[in-house]
Amino acid sequence: MIAQPIDNLTGFTRLLAKAHACWELLKFRLSLLVAFSCAFGFTLASPVIDWTRLCMVFIGGFLLSGSSIALNMIFERDYDKLMTRTMNRPLPTGRLSVTEAAVFAAACFVVSISILFAYTNLLTTLLSFLSMVLYSFVYTPLKRVGSIAVFVGAIPGALPPLLGWVAVTGNISHEALIIFGIQFIWQFPHFWAIAWLAEEDYKKAGFKLLPFGGSKDMNTAIQIMIYTLFLLPLGLLPAKFGISGIDSAIVATVCGVLFLAQTFSLMKDGSRQSARRIMFGSFLYLPIVQVAYLLDKV
């Protein structure tokens, strides 16, 4: 589907088109996942839930993610033109100018940081700022350098649940590091499955996200399997340290085994179908396990 130019639109119709283009900059589903992870950490750490603060953490996390993603799209606008999956984004199609996108990203960032500062604490606010810097200004340019970008990108990607926990407690405890660690390791099979599927597109832009030189081969499939395997012991740590109970440990183990099983198919046939199953498995694993921890919190 080709995005339609809006230069010939006028008045309210043009305004609506601009608003829709700004909405696309947020990447709603991804920002929603980030906001959910923030809320997950906040709820897991709360003896009694403060619903107003929970809502503000959710909104702050959503807008912070949207700001980071919008900056990413600004920096990669010329590369996005080269890839089929991104060529219809607002900047490559000219539906937004760089200035308009930058103003929108800055507004989202200011509002999100203001909300987090007002409703959480200084440490949460500083970590949120660090998350945005790592994603937009470190991870983004590293995507053309090598697979080290995945490691760097996994840090801000895993910070949301930790941010939620710190928003309640005011400190980075071992519990916060456990939920950070689960989401950190989860991102490697998640990222690499996507990179496997989008390899041809990524090559057009010079992105190098697959490990071992960026090849869709057995070595990459083994790396995906190993990192998925790590989720099995990590998934048990919340029960071990009294964050949640045994029921959620069982759910995490079952989900981990099912997720791991998909990686063996990729090792066997190296097909796009197997990579796609891993990608969808990653989308299911994280929210299911996090909800299980919430329902089973001690």
Question: How do the domains of the chain map onto residue ranges?
Answer: 15-172, 173-298
CATH 1.10.357.140 assigned to 15-172:
yes
Res 43: pLDDT: 97
Rounded-to-integer distance, Cα 164 and Cα 35, Å: 9
Looking at residue 169, its pLDDT comes to 96
Contacts of 84-91 with CB under 8 Å at 24 or more apart are: 84/201, 85/198, 85/201, 86/201, 88/1, 88/2, 88/3, 89/3, 89/24, 90/3, 90/21, 90/22, 90/24, 90/25
* Total-model pTM: 0.92
Sequence-ordered list of residues with C-beta below 8 angstroms from that of 202, at least 6 positions apart, any chain: 83, 195, 208, 209
Token pair 């203001």 is at which residue?
114
Instruction: Give the pLDDT of residue 1.
Output: 45
Per-residue confidence (pLDDT) for residue 11, from 0 to 100: 67
Q: What is the pLDDT along the chain (298 residues), one digit of tens a residue?
A: 445 556 556 667 888 989 999 999 999 999 999 999 999 999 999 999 999 999 999 999 999 999 999 999 999 999 999 999 999 999 999 999 999 999 999 999 999 999 999 999 999 999 999 999 999 999 999 999 988 999 999 999 999 999 999 999 999 999 999 999 999 999 999 999 999 999 999 999 999 889 876 788 899 999 999 999 999 999 999 999 999 999 999 999 999 999 999 999 999 999 999 999 999 999 999 999 999 999 998 6
Token output for 287: 């929210």
